[in-house]
Amino acid sequence: MEMNQTYRRSQRAQLLTLLAIGVALLTLIGVAVKRYDVQWDWTANKQHSLAEQSIKAVQGFEEGLTATVYAQESSNEAAVAKEELEKYQLHNAKLRIVIVDPELRPDLVKADGVTKLGTVVLRAGDKQEKVEILSEEELTNALVRMGKEKRKTVRFVTGHGEHVLDKGDRSAYSQVIAVLKAEGYDVGVIRLVEQEKIPDDVDVLIIPGPKSDLLEPEIARLTTWWNENKQARLMTLLDPEGDGGLSALLEPYGVKLLEGTLVEPRMARTPFAIPPAEVDENHPIAPKLTQIPVFYTARGLALDSEIPTGATWTRSRLLASSESSWLESGNLDGESISFQQTDGDKRGPIVMASAVADGDKRLVVTADADFPSDQLMGYPGNADLFLNMIRWLASEENSIAIKPKPVLDAGMQLQGGDLILLMVLLLGVVPVSLAGAGVAIWMRRRRR
C-alpha cells in the first residue's frame, strides 16, 4: 500500500515537472514571437518572400521611411497593403506603416494627390513616391527611384526612320520604355539635326536602328560629344538595312559591321530568329539574363582579334551565334536558303553584340534593332537584355525590375506502376494493418 502511494507521488511529481517545463517552453516561445518577427517560406519558389533586389532596395534606407496606406483600417485594401509591406518591414525595422482613412483625413488625400483606395505613399526625407497598383515590382521600383541621387537621362535619336517609343506600331519600343520610366529614368527623343551640340545632361544616348545615314553635321556632333565627353555612354542598334554612317565611330575599337543577314538553320520555322549560343558571363550585362534573348533579321559584327598594346579600353564579345549559323549575303526571297561560301556567305559563330569600356566611357553595339520592339516581347529575354544594357551604360547594374513569381504546379504525377502501388498501399496494406492492429488490441484485452 505504501509502495502504491510512493509510486503515485512520484508520478504526480513527474507530471508536475513536465507541466512546468511545458509552461516554461510556451512562455519562452511567446516572448520570442513577440520580440523577434521571424517567418519561414517553404513554398517551392519562395512565393511569399521578397526578391533579393527588393531586400537590398528597402535596406538602403538606413534612416528609415514611412509607408502611408490610404484605406479604412478594417478594409480589404488595408489588409492586403499591410501584408505586402510587412515583408519589407522584416528587412528594415525602421519602415513605419501608417493607415489613413481617406474620409477622416481629406486634407492628406488632397496633399498627396490620392485618387484610389489602397494607394501607398512612400516617404524618406524629402523624397516621395506614390504606388497605386500594389505589387512587389511596383513597390520595389518606387524604392529604387527614391534611392537614386538623380534621375538618369536617356535619349533616343530620331529623324532617320528609327524605331519609335510610343504605341501604335509593332516595331515600337513602348513596353521596354514603360519599364525604364517605372525605374525612374527620364526617357525622351532627340533630333541631332536641331541641336548645336548634344546636351551635357544626356547620360545615355541610343541610336535605335536608323534606316538612313545620319547627316554629316549630325555625325560631327556625335563624334565631338564622344571624343570630348569623358563619361559619354552610347548604344547603337543597327539592322542589316544600313549602318547609319556610324562605322567610323566604331572602328577605333576594332568593331566592324558585316553585310548580310544572320541565318540559324536550327530554327527551322523561323531561320531569321537568332538566339545567341555564346554569352560573355564575365560581363556585368550577362549574368542577369535568366531568359534567352532572340534577335530577328540581324546582321553581324566582326571584332579585331587583338586589342592594341597600350589601349585604354576593353572590349567584350557579349553575344555570338552558333557554329551552325551563317551570315547570308545573297537574296533572302528564295524558297530555300543554304550556306554558299563561294557566294560570300560567312560561317558562324558570328558576333551579335559587343560592349566597350574606355575609361568612364561605355559603348554597346548590337547587330539588331528589332529585339527590344513590342512585336518580340514574347521572348522575355529580349527586354532583360535591352534593359540590362541600359542599366550598365547608366552605371546602374544593380537595378533590375522585379518580375512576378510563377505559381508552380506542385501536383503529383504518377505513372502506371506507381499508381498501382499506391492503390495497393491505400486499399490493401493500410486497411489490413489497421484491422490487424484492432484484432491484436482486442485479443490483449481478452486475456486480462
Question: Which domains are present in the chain?
Answer: 52-146 (3.40.30.10), 151-393 (3.40.50.880)
User: Is 439's pLDDT higher than 60?
Assistant: yes
The most confident of 7-21, 129-143, 420-434, by mean pLDDT: 129-143
Burial call 394-403: b when 16+ CB within 10 Å, e when fewer: bbbeebbbbe
Provide the pLDDT confidence category of residue 420 given band limits of 50, 70 and 90: confident
Query: Within a 10 A sphere around the Cβ of 103, how many other Cβ atoms?
Result: 8
More confident call, 256 vs 54: 256
Residue in 422, 259, 280 with CA at minimum distance from that of residue 343: 259
Do the Cβ atoms of 251 and 287 come closer than 8 Å?
Answer: no
Q: What are the start-end ranges of the H helices in 361-415?
A: 380-393
Do the Cβ atoms of 283 and 314 come closer than 8 Å?
Answer: no
Instruction: Give the residue-averaged pLDDT of 285-303.
Output: 87
Average the pLDDT over each of 75-89, 178-192, 215-229, 398-412 and give the range with the smallest value. 398-412
Instruction: Give the residue-averaged pLDDT of 90-115.
Output: 92
- pLDDT tens for each residue of 17-46: 888 888 888 888 777 666 655 555 555 555
pLDDT attached to residue 404: 47
pLDDT attached to residue 80: 93
- Residue reference for cell 516561445: 29
Instruction: Give the residue-averaged pLDDT of 387-413.
Output: 67
More confident call, 241 vs 350: 350
Average the pLDDT over each of 3-12, 164-173, 429-438 and give the range with the smallest value. 3-12
Please name the residues in contact with 68: beta carbons below 8 A apart, sequence gap of 6 or more.
Answer: 98, 100, 108, 112, 120, 121, 122, 123
Residue in 109, 38, 44 with CA at minimum distance from that of residue 72: 109
Sign of CA dihedral 333, 365, 381, 176: negative
pTM confidence score: 0.68
Q: In angstroms, rounded to a whole number, what is the distance separating the alpha carbons of residues 335 and 93?
A: 65
Q: In angstroms, rounded to a whole number, what is the distance separating the alpha carbons of residues 375 and 378?
A: 7
More confident call, 6 vs 226: 226
- Residue reference for cell 499506391: 422
pLDDT attached to residue 401: 47
pLDDT attached to residue 20: 83
pLDDT attached to residue 396: 84
User: Is 415's pLDDT higher than 70?
Assistant: no
The H or E element spanning position 137 is: helix 136-147
Q: In angstroms, rounded to a whole number, what is the distance separating the alpha carbons of residues 129 and 116?
A: 15
User: Is 147's pLDDT higher than 50?
Assistant: yes
User: Is 371's pLDDT higher than 90?
Assistant: yes
- Residue reference for cell 494607394: 119
- State the burial class of residue 148 (Cβ atoms within 10 Å of its Cβ: 0-12, 13-18, 19+): middle
pLDDT attached to residue 142: 87
Provide the pLDDT confidence category of residue 187 given band limits of 50, 70 and 90: very high
Q: In angstroms, rounded to a whole number, what is the distance separating the alpha carbons of residues 391 and 172?
A: 20
Do the Cβ atoms of 415 and 401 come closer than 8 Å?
Answer: no
* Residue 78, Ramachandran bin (φ over 0: left; ψ between -120 and 50: alpha; else beta): alpha
Average the pLDDT over each of 19-28, 63-72, 117-126, 423-432 and give the range with the smallest value. 423-432
pLDDT attached to residue 367: 94
CA end-to-end span of the chain, whole Å?
A: 22
Provide the pLDDT confidence category of residue 436 given band limits of 50, 70 and 90: confident
- State the burial class of residue 32 (Cβ atoms within 10 Å of its Cβ: 0-12, 13-18, 19+): exposed
pLDDT attached to residue 2: 54
> Cell for 57?
532596395
pLDDT attached to residue 45: 54
User: Is 405's pLDDT higher than 70?
Assistant: no
pLDDT attached to residue 398: 62
- Over pLDDT 90: what percentage of the chain? 44
Burial call 55-90: b when 16+ CB within 10 Å, e when fewer: bbbbeebeeebebbbbbeeeeebbeebbebbebbbe
User: Is 243's pLDDT higher than 60?
Assistant: yes
User: Is 287's pLDDT higher than 80?
Assistant: no
